[in-house]
Amino acid sequence: MPRLFTALEIPRNVALSLSLLRGGLPGARWIDVENYHITLRFIGDVDGRTADEIVDRLDRIDRPEFQLSMTGIGSFGGKKPHSVWAGVTPAPEMFALQAEIERLCQRLGLPPDPRKFTPHVTLARLKGARVDDVVHYLSGRGNFQTAPFTAPRFVLLSSRDSVGGGPYLTEEIFPLREEINSRSREWAGAVPEKSLL
């Protein structure tokens, strides 16, 4: 059975910006550009019936699309760094979506995610990387930032048993509600005066 998780996709132009951060760190296994994503909730290995229930519940989520941008980079693992990541601006709508997914997973009997939600895109897995090398790598790229982009949907991804980092398969797509800006809303409801004559 594949491992499942929910995620936000990274647009191609943002993924290309992230790809420019690759290289210059001994012991790094760089994630392929097409596998960049922001994990919302790791679900894990589930049976077919549970997977169907998860899809059914995720399909009922009704939340608006929202804007994000990538900002800053860092590493996980402290004195034994195991991965390098790019940060994500903290959009309230993203946290609300993640919390709803977490609640529905728990209602289906899945254990709570033990990790605090820290939105990021994993850039590389590290094996045997020296702390000094990681610090040097991060110090030269700390001001990384991308232009804002819209998250129009979230996805259910699967991965086969591997050491992490893909390849991932999109199992289901869940569109977010398109938000009409206030100016468009005004025009949509307005009737030109001449048409009343």
Predicted local distance difference test score (pLDDT) of residue 167: 81
Percentage of the chain exceeding pLDDT 70: 87
The catalytic residues are 37, 120
Q: Tokens 């993924």, residue?
A: 15
pTM (two decimals): 0.86
Q: Which amino acid is it at 101?
A: I
- In this prediction, residues 66-84 reach a mean pLDDT of 95
Predicted local distance difference test score (pLDDT) of residue 193: 41
Predicted local distance difference test score (pLDDT) of residue 160: 72
pLDDT tops 50 at residue 74: yes
Query: pLDDT tens digits for 108-135?
Result: 999 999 989 999 999 999 998 999 999 9
Q: Would you call the peptide bond into 167 cis, given omega within 30 degrees of 0 as the criterion?
A: yes
Residues, the chain:
197
Predicted local distance difference test score (pLDDT) of residue 181: 57
Q: Which amino acid is it at 145?
A: Q
Give me the domains of the chain, ranges plus CATH numbers: 3-196 (3.90.1140.10)
Is pLDDT larger for residue 86 or for residue 179? 86
The answer to whether the beta carbons of residues 149 and 156 sit under 8 Å apart is no
pLDDT tops 70 at residue 164: no
Predicted local distance difference test score (pLDDT) of residue 159: 86
Predicted local distance difference test score (pLDDT) of residue 12: 95
DSSP β-ladder status, 3-9 and 153-159? antiparallel
Structure tokens at 17: 């910006």
Rounded CA gap, 66 and 58, in Å? 17
